[in-house]
Amino acid sequence: MGKPVIQVKDLYKIYRIGTNKVRALNGVDFSIEKGEFCCIVGTSGSGKSTLLNMLAGLEKPTKGQIVIAGEHIEAKNESQLVNFRQAHVGFIFQSYNLMQNMTAIENVAMPLTFQGIGKKEREKRAIKMLKLVGLGKYMRHKPGEMSGGQQQRVGIARALVVNPEIVFADEPTGNLDSNTTLEVLQLIKQISREKNQTMVMVTHDNYLAGFGDRIIQIKDGKIIRNIDNRERAQQQMDELINGTATMPDEDPFAPAPNTAVTAAQSTEPPKQETAVQPAAVQESNEQAAKAEGPGDKPVSIWDEVNETIKNEGGDTQS
C-alpha cells in the first residue's frame, strides 16, 4: 500500500437533456492506493455509476483528469480505451451480463480470446478460476441453469481470469439475497486481497460499504466523506469469516429485535437430533428430509475455494 493507482482530479460530468443540465459529477477529487478495497457509497442518483463508468473508461468526463496506472484515461480515444481495459481492468456487473447460450467455462474464457490466448490454455485458466470461486461442479452449466449467486460467481471469475490490476464492481450483490451477498462479497474481497488487486465497488448499502478499506461517500455528484476504514473493515471481515456477520435485517416480517432469541443468547440447551419427538413431528421431519434429498444439503463454497487456493496458490497465470 501507499502508491496511488487511481487519481481523480476535478472531475465533472454534466448531462444535457434539452435545456436541462444534470451535474452527475460536480467536482470530484480523490485517490485510491494499490491493493485497496474502496467502496463508493451513496443513495440512488448520487452519481456512483457515472463515476465508476468514467474510471473504467466507459464514459467520457465533461472536465477533469483520471490517471490510472500512470495513464490519462480522459485523453484516450475509443480504441486506446479498449486496449487499456483489456490490459488493466476487470468489471463485475449487478446483472451479471453473462452470455446465456454459453457454459460457465465459455463465459469465463471469453476475455482471454481478446488476449490471443489459445483455446486449450483458455479453458485451463477458466477451469482454475471457476474452481477458485467454488463452482467446480457447475462448469458445464449455462447461466439459466444456475442460481443468482452462482451466476455472479461466474461473473467474478470472468472479471478476474485476466488477472487485472484493478477490478470495478457496480452493485455486484444488488440482485442477491443477504446470505449470498455476504458470500459473494467475502469471495471478491479474499481473491482481490490474495492477488493484491485494487478493487472499487459501488453500493448504496452502508453496511456493505463498511467492508471497504476506504469509503468514499458521494451525494449530488460530490464527495461528502472520504474515510480510512481499514480497522472496521478488518473487524467486519473477521465476523464474516467466523460466521457471526449478518446483514442488518430490513425484512418487515422479521420478528422484532427484542423477541428474537439467537442461539448464543438462548439459555436452553440446543435440541439434540436424537431427542424423542412426537410421532407426527418425526414423520413430517422424515418427509422433509426425503424431499430435500441428501445432495441438497447446503454445502459451503469455502471448502472448494480454500482447497483451490491451497493447491494452486490462487494464481490464475500458469
Ligand X SMILES: Nc1ncnc2c1ncn2[C@@H]1O[C@H](COP(=O)(O)OP(=O)(O)OP(=O)(O)O)[C@@H](O)[C@H]1O
Residues making contact with Mg ion (CB under 5 A): 49
- In terms of phi and psi (left: phi > 0; alpha: psi -120 to 50; beta: otherwise), the region of 144 is alpha
Q: Are 56 and 6 in contact (CB under 8 A)?
A: no
Q: Which is nearer to Mg ion, 203 or 229 (CB)?
A: 203
- Binding partner at 172 among ligand X, Mg ion, none, C-beta below 5 to 8 Å by kind: none
Residues that bind ligand X (CB under 6 A): 15, 17, 22, 24, 42, 44-50, 204
Residues contacting residue 83 through CB under 8 Å, at least 6 positions apart: none
Minimum CB distance to ligand X smaller for 207 or for 302? 207
- Cβ proximity to Mg ion, 4 vs 174, nearer residue: 174
Closer by beta carbon to Mg ion, 49 or else 186: 49
**How far apart, in whole angstroms, are the C-alpha atoms of residue 132 and residue 187?**
9
Rounded least distance, CB 30 to ligand X, Å: 16
The one of ligand X, Mg ion, none whose footprint includes residue 50, by CB under 5 to 8 A per kind, is ligand X
The CB-of-211 to ligand X minimum distance in angstroms stands at 18
Comparing CB distances to ligand X, the nearer of 148 and 174 is 174
Residue 47: contacted member of Mg ion, ligand X, none (CB under 5 to 8 Å, by partner type): ligand X
User: Which one of ligand X, Mg ion, none interacts with residue 44, CB within 5 to 8 A by kind?
Assistant: ligand X
Query: How far apart are CB 206 and ligand X at their closest, in Å?
Result: 13
CB-based contacts of 141, cutoff 8 Å, min separation 6: 103, 104, 150
φ, ψ of residue 25 to 5 degrees: the values are -130, 125
Taken in order 42, 44, 47, 53, the sign of the CA dihedral is: positive
Comparison of 49 and 173: residue with beta carbon closer to Mg ion:
49
Q: Which does 192 bind (CB under 5 to 8 A by kind): Mg ion, ligand X, none?
A: none
Interaction partner, residue 317 (ligand X, Mg ion, none; CB < 5-8 Å by kind): none
Minimum distance from residue 52 beta carbon to Mg ion (Å): 8
Question: Rg of the chain over CA atoms, in angstroms?
Answer: 22
DSSP per residue, 110-150: HHHHTTT--HHHHHHHHHHHHHHTT-GGGTT--GGGS-HHH
Nearest approach, Cβ of residue 214 and ligand X (Å): 18
Give the residue nearest to Mg ion (CB).
49
Least distance (Å) between residue 173 CB and ligand X: 13
On whether the CB atoms of residues 181 and 4 are closer than 8 A, the answer is no
CB of 58 to ligand X, least distance (A): 11
In the beta sheet, which residues pair with residue 203? Answer: 41
Phi/psi of residue 13, each to 5°? -135, 115
Is 271 within 8 Å of 94 (Cβ atoms)? no
CB of 6 to ligand X, least distance (A): 17
CB under 5 to 8 A by kind: which of Mg ion, ligand X, none does 22 bind? ligand X
In the sheet that holds 222-228, the strands lie side by side as 89-92, 166-170, 198-203, 37-41, 214-219, 222-228
User: Which one, 141 or 222, has the nearer CB to ligand X?
Assistant: 222
Nearer to ligand X, 42 or 314 (CB): 42
Strand segments, DSSP code E, in the chain are 4-17, 20-33, 37-41, 63-68, 71-72, 89-92, 166-170, 198-203, 214-219, 222-228
